Structure 1
């Protein structure tokens, strides 16, 4: 492969030998503020590619301004510019977190919410730094007129980016929100490759394409290309993985395996205002709304399961005693009911999903594993608790629960943001779940882009493991996602109602996907390979500097 690259490149250089290059010497392009403009533009373009703005195609060139900003910068300056770009991106894409100020009382807590948002955006921005450094060092070492070195650069910076995203998803319990690949959740043909490499491989394709575009533009601006209408090998190579994935995705979607077994679920979306959930005076109204929606859904006929969202029940359920009386208001006409509620077990409180069978008897439950810091527990409580409204810490669930459903395929619940944590879905499928349920309450942040961004992550969990998911939310987006990431939604966000539909569980005996069997190999490879790239680049620059000093 490298040999053919060299031959093609040699022929290109022979054809273009002696042609005058295009040098842009305008004073504006030498302005010291231009790198900051490029850094900020990339942050804006990246944010515009995610739900809330929805310009997903922009992602394939969104990093180019940042790459130009850092390509000739020192390591320290490249790190600063990358941090700025990341901060702009996360500030825009996580802006919905500021809605917390309307959910808490007191000036101190409101200020804490804003500061927490800023700190989180800054923390996430740190993971842009390795990419910026890799671009700065890699441009000096590899980028130029030699094709195979340019392609090496494209692979190298893609590894670094993917490794940084993977690290962000696991370090300090992880915050894997909005990796680049998630922006493509509505592109069903492109994302089918996630069954092999998860969302990480889609992120890698995006960065690879950006790197090809950067090299193309840079060769014009730095005088190595004379005719801007000529095709460019690096740009064409950057398109290859995307084109192959789209072709593979089309083949997958057109040759879906037939699935005959189905489950009919009814999803209740009560649209309860977050403050009302804390008001004991609103408890009768909440129960009435849940009861009416549940009763109406049960009259559809042939419903196998009715689902409520996260913490829908305005009471704590003690799993050590009977609860038929507490749920008598929500009689489901002999239909199993999966509720979201806080539970009390062995002296601890849990955020739980609890199944009651057609007779109203307890039939199984799941306790949330991946708790939200400052939402369900307080790190360093002696120091930090005074800055939060959280008075008690919830307990961590012991692991995935595969819950049998009368006469139907078993499922595993995921609560709140657990559907953004890819290993939890994978572990549930490995444990035997044939479909997934996500119960969440995005009312903390709605109305905002958060609910659509949240849905986008769930799409990848379905494709990665080839299982469908029923998403039941308090304020939206409720719906059914099939095993190929196609979303069926009937309810508008911020509306009260219910929706029902069919989902098709993973067939018994069907081989599990590569991703389910092996995990995020692409992410792990990116982390190890990215570290190696940075070590090689940093070491190579130091050796070259010493040689120059010696001469």
Structure 2
């Protein structure tokens, strides 16, 4: 016989929704969720390029900010205090950013192992300290978003506005380091990246947050207990529209080549094995020349049919323009109608005069054949403007020297930055937009004022990513350089010491590439440019326009939500 007690139905335990678990998390559990969510977002970057990972990351970000007020109240014993709430939001954002930058920039640690005896002890600066500093931007963004917070769909444009402001500041303050901006979640995918031709990387950042944070609202319920489907549906529609635009833009077929231009990119793969020394300079140059003159096919017989030979960033352990033997060796192998464009350190000033001390520049130099002397003569030169902190110059150099910290490139006093961005004049090529190393990651920052809407041209990116070995770093660098081609509607020539060297058309399609970590040469033709894109014509106003649009959307949604709440009372 069943007892009366046994007949009483037991309460059914319903699983706690994931959104509630994130919102209600406290302490180290909350920090771990934030860091893991940020790290998940890094999977959307090259070389993985798993775009949905950013949706997981930003959805969790919304829920973490939702939980800031409760976390602040549990700490302070009060219910509604603005400062503890903002501080809690900042903490969640800092941990989110720390996870994102640690997972996305882990490869920086490889640079500290190149000369391990001197720099291995500094590895925490690259793999921990730098992400910790960069996470301040995302922490500030979460706090700003919380200050603009409003229940319901308005949270999404609030977060989009705050993260856009943070990313703009990250690309500007202290010379800027906009590596893996959130918009690269869309920019890494070739089809979705086509939107950059209209709104640029910063516009893609705003759109990425709007689209990938929208699923957070699926956990919301109105006063009648119904789920809010509209924001996620609109986000999906926007993503489909962007993909449709990209597919349409890529459907036009191959781009015609520039007549009379035959390119050869030399990738020497010389790094980290003791070969790159001044004592070995003659052997190094001989290797470059032999590799450059290599016959790659029956119809490509070395340099005889090449119009432009491209070498990577700073391939010489000496000052090329002041070494007559090197110029003579290049002149002997360089055909009279072939132009060499190479990265090279150059120097101004005197080694012996205290009044005019030497100033070193990381440059791109154009060399042609001098028929009078038979040597190579240096023509136009571009000096790198955006130098890499700790790599090419030392911030707070007095303090750093006392701590025993030196820059990676052993140049006395560090490199001197160039005065301005400008076009490079290369005989036989359309106007060249030069970008040395990580200058190619700055959206809208390559062209001098007045030249943004080039009707023809080519982007030339010379780099040395050998510091980072066979990690994600070189692939991320290539993806960001490729997006500059899409933004400007210009083809891209990329020569990297250890790879990845490539020829990219103005739609961002990689036509040819050399594998990472292999020595070789790449022969190809130069695609024509598309003419000015919408982005190239108005890139200076896009960040402001995107910010104003997000604020307008935020307050419009808040106003509409407030009216609905009033009518329901």
The TM-score range, normalised by the shorter chain, is: 0.7 to 0.9
Contact 1:491 1:497 in 2 (8 A): yes
Residue 128 and residue 28 in structure 1: after superposition, are their counterparts in 2 closer, same or farther (change >3 A)? Answer: closer
Query: Which residue of the partner structure matches residue 312 of structure 2?
Result: 309
Residue 321 and residue 412 in structure 1: after superposition, are their counterparts in 2 closer, same or farther (change >3 A)? Answer: farther
Q: 2:52 aligns with which of 49, 57, 60?
A: 57
Structure 1 gap segments, 5+ residues each: 1-21, 144-149, 538-551
Deviation at 1:216, TM superposition (A): 0.8
Contact 1:264 1:500 in 2 (8 A): yes
Query: Which structure has more RCO (C-alpha within 8 Å, separation ≥ 6)?
Result: 1
Query: Which residue of the partner structure matches residue 40 of structure 2?
Result: 45
Contact 1:342 1:350 in 2 (8 A): yes
Residue 397 and residue 421 in structure 1: after superposition, are their counterparts in 2 closer, same or farther (change >3 A)? Answer: same
Q: 1:242-290 CA deviation, whole Å, 9 max, x = no partner?
A: 2222222222222469645343211100000235364233323322220
Residue 25 and residue 453 in structure 1: after superposition, are their counterparts in 2 closer, same or farther (change >3 A)? Answer: closer
Q: 1:121 aligns with which of 119, 131, 134?
A: 131
How does 1:98-247 map onto structure 2 within 5 Å?
A: 98-106=109-117, 109-139=119-149, 141-143=150-152, 150=153, 152-219=154-221, 224-225=225-226, 232-247=229-244
Residue 257 and residue 499 in structure 1: after superposition, are their counterparts in 2 closer, same or farther (change >3 A)? Answer: closer
Task: Quote the Cα distance in structure 2 between the aligned partners of 1:134 and 1:529.
Answer: 17
Return the TM-score normalized by structure 2.
0.79
Deviation at 1:112, TM superposition (A): 2.7
Task: Quote the Cα distance in structure 1 between the aligned partners of 2:553 and 2:172.
Answer: 21
Query: Which residue of the partner structure matches residue 427 of structure 1?
Result: 448
Contact 1:402 1:431 in 2 (8 A): no
Deviation at 1:96, TM superposition (A): 0.8
Task: Quote the Cα distance in structure 1 between the aligned partners of 2:98 and 2:224.
Answer: 33
Q: 1:517 aligns with which of 524, 533, 537?
A: 537
Deviation at 1:485, TM superposition (A): 0.9
Task: Quote the Cα distance in structure 1 between the aligned partners of 2:433 and 2:386.
Answer: 15
Aligned residues: 500
Could you say what the CA RMSD is over the residues aligned between the two structures, in angstroms?
Answer: 3.3
Residue 303 and residue 219 in structure 1: after superposition, are their counterparts in 2 closer, same or farther (change >3 A)? Answer: farther
Contact 2:255 2:528 in 1 (8 A): no
How does 1:71-470 map onto structure 2 within 5 Å?
A: 71-73=66-68, 74-106=85-117, 109-139=119-149, 141-143=150-152, 150=153, 152-219=154-221, 224-225=225-226, 232-255=229-252, 259=256, 261-262=258-259, 263-274=261-272, 276=274, 278-296=276-294, 299=302, 302-318=305-321, 324-325=327-328, 327-328=330-331, 331-332=334-335, 334-346=337-349, 347-359=358-370, 360-385=376-401, 386-389=404-407, 390=410, 391-427=412-448, 429-430=451-452, 434-470=457-493
Query: Which residue of the partner structure matches residue 478 of structure 1?
Result: 501
Task: Quote the Cα distance in structure 1 between the aligned partners of 2:470 and 2:448.
Answer: 32
Structure 2 gap segments, 5+ residues each: 1-13, 69-84, 296-300, 350-357, 371-375, 558-569
Greater Cα radius of gyration, structure 1 or 2 = 2
Query: Which residue of the partner structure matches residue 354 of structure 2?
Result: none
Which stretch shows the higher mean deviation, 391-400 or 80-89?
391-400
Residue 240 and residue 217 in structure 1: after superposition, are their counterparts in 2 closer, same or farther (change >3 A)? Answer: same
Return the TM-score normalized by structure 1.
0.82
| Secondary structure of the corresponding residue to residue 274 of structure 2 | helix
